[in-house]
Structure 1
Amino acid sequence: MDLTEQINQLEADLQELGSLLEKAERKGVQAVLQQEQRKVEKEIAAKRHQKEQQARRDADPAAASRAAYTAKITNYGWDQSEKFVKIYLTLKGVHKIPSENVTVNFTERSFSVLVKDLDGKNHQMIMNNLLCPIDANDSCKKIKTDMVLIMCKKQMAKKWDCLTQVEKQSKEKDKPAIEETADPSDGLMSMLKKIYSEGDDEMKRTINKAWSESQEKKLKGEDMMDL
């Protein structure tokens, strides 16, 4: 059965429900019939939208290939509360497409987002190796104007320093390795040795002179202490 036949069948069902509603006298029965009417009306609207999309694809065959293209979502930001980590995905016009076109899957350490048929293409984001475990069942999505909000429920009320383990490792790698027991003068000596080895003759003479004067002052200080 094609979409046109499905729509005709639903419209016939809706007409019959209207006839039954006119004859119904009990409020409970009326409420059930009205609820079913709304359900059928939504199905008809969805089928008509689907039919319009199909007609556009038939009129422009290239649209199907464009819709199949999937772009990576890179424009996002994040913050957090005590219970949730919130990721904000900026997607212009996302609130105008059917909500079922936006799907989010959660696991304990990841989430993936797929937005179908927005501006002629799909949009996807996959975030693996989250910094801390999340509760997949209590995590959710919210669609706002030009934005998809991903709500990751924390398993522990702990502040996240970053989103993923990879980011954490990158930050730790960038930190300078400083030994707490290291003598500060060792760093200065290493720097002077490097400058001496790479410097010209004039630079070497200057360093030698400064070193000699420093040693003379040190020796004079020690002699004064002996007195």
Structure 2
Amino acid sequence: MDLTEQINQLEADLQELGAFLEKAERERVKEALRQEQKKVEKEIASKRQQKEQQARREADPTASSKAAYTVKITNYGWDQSEKFVKIYLTLKGVHKIPSENVEVNFTDRSFSVLVKDLDGKNHQMSIINLLNPIDVKDSYKKIKTDMVLIMCKKKTAKKWECLTQVEKQSKEKDKPAMDENADPSEGLMSMLKKIYSEGDDEMKRTINKAWTESQEKKMKGEDMMDF
């Protein structure tokens, strides 16, 4: 069904809703019909905008080539449920372009996104080396207002500690090495030295204060860990 036919069907729906509203007597029913009218009107406006964009592209065949350069999507958010990992891409106006302009491809351990001809640019993103495998056939996209939501179906229902293997390796690299035979107080001392050397002025003042108070308590004979 092309856009013209879709608009015609929506307009027929709107007309029928209006007829029902005129006959409705109960306020609750009237309000439900009014809300549905607003939804249909909004959908009609969106379809008309898509039709105008389509007409401009057909009138100027070179228009698609004007979106010649591609920008990388670098900012995203992610969350998870028991069954899905959800990736949120904020792209202003993405809900106004044809849905087929938003392409998402999934593999067992990755996904890629290509949003074509949005504000005269293509927007691209690839996430590889996912922490755990996903189910390709049950993964999908959702287009919301100013947002693309990527739904990656987990093959195994369990919590992911991070999104990719790269993030996991980075976290493990940043962890301080632990010697099982080392004196715990020496490990604490090393950690405090690292925090002190990397901290800002406020952090250094806090550590200095704690050190001073610790030494004062030691001199008074109180049982206090030696920093």
Shorter-normalised TM range: 0.5 to 0.7
Counterpart of 1:82, as a letter, is E
Supply the distance in 2 between the matched residues of 1:171 and 1:129 (Cα, whole angstroms): 15
Q: Secondary structure at the match of 2:67?
A: helix
Residues 141 and 149 in structure 2, CA contact (< 8 A), matched pair in contact too: yes
Q: Which runs of 5+ in 1 are unaligned?
A: 1-6, 12-44, 192-227
**Rounded Cα–Cα distance in structure 2 between residues aligned with 1:47 and 1:189:** 67
The equivalent of 1:22 in structure 2 is none
Q: Does residue 156 of structure 2 align to residue 152 of structure 1?
A: no
1:1-227 matches, cutoff 5 A: 49-56=53-60, 66-184=66-184
Secondary structure at the aligned position of 2:159 is classed as coil
The answer as to whether partners of 2:50 and 2:96 remain within 8 angstroms in 1 is: no
- State the AA in 2 paired with 1:94: V
Letter matched to residue 163 of structure 2 = L
Q: Structure 2: which 5+ runs fail to align?
A: 6-48, 192-227
Secondary structure of 1:172's counterpart equals helix
Q: TM-score, normalised to structure 1's length?
A: 0.57
Give the whole-Å Cα distance in 1 for the aligned partners of 2:180 and 2:92: 51
Deviation at 1:187, TM superposition (A): 5.7
Higher fraction of helix: 1
Q: How many percent of aligned residue pairs carry the same amino acid? A: 78
Distance 1:77 1:185, change over 3 A: closer
Runs of 4+ off more than 4 Å: 45-49, 63-66, 185-191
Size of the alignment, in residue pairs?
146
1:185: Cα distance to partner? 5.8
Note closer, same or farther for the CA distance 1:189–1:150 as it changes in structure 2 (3 Å cut): closer
Alpha-carbon separation, structure 2, partners of 1:49 and 1:64: 11
- CA root-mean-square deviation: 3.1
The structure with the largest alpha-carbon Rg is: 1
Separation of aligned partners in 2, 1:161 and 1:185: 29
Aligned counterparts of 1:72 and 1:185: Cα–Cα separation in 2 = 47
Q: Which amino acid aligns with 2:54?
A: Q
Residues 160 and 186 (structure 1), Cα distance of their counterparts in 2 relative to 1, 3 Å cut: closer
Question: Offset of 1:50 from its aligned partner?
Answer: 3.4
Aligned to 1:203: none
2:28 aligned residue: none
Q: CA deviation at 1:126?
A: 0.3
**Cα deviation code 1:14-57 (max 9, x no counterpart):** xxxxxxxxxxxxxxxxxxxxxxxxxxxxxxx9887534214346
The alignment partner of 1:169 has SS state of helix
Amino acid corresponding to residue 143 of structure 1 in structure 2: I
Contact 2:109 2:128 in 1 (8 A): yes
Structure 2 Cα separation of the partners of residues 112 and 164 of structure 1:
14
Q: How far apart, in 2, do the equivalents of 1:89 and 1:190 lie?
A: 40
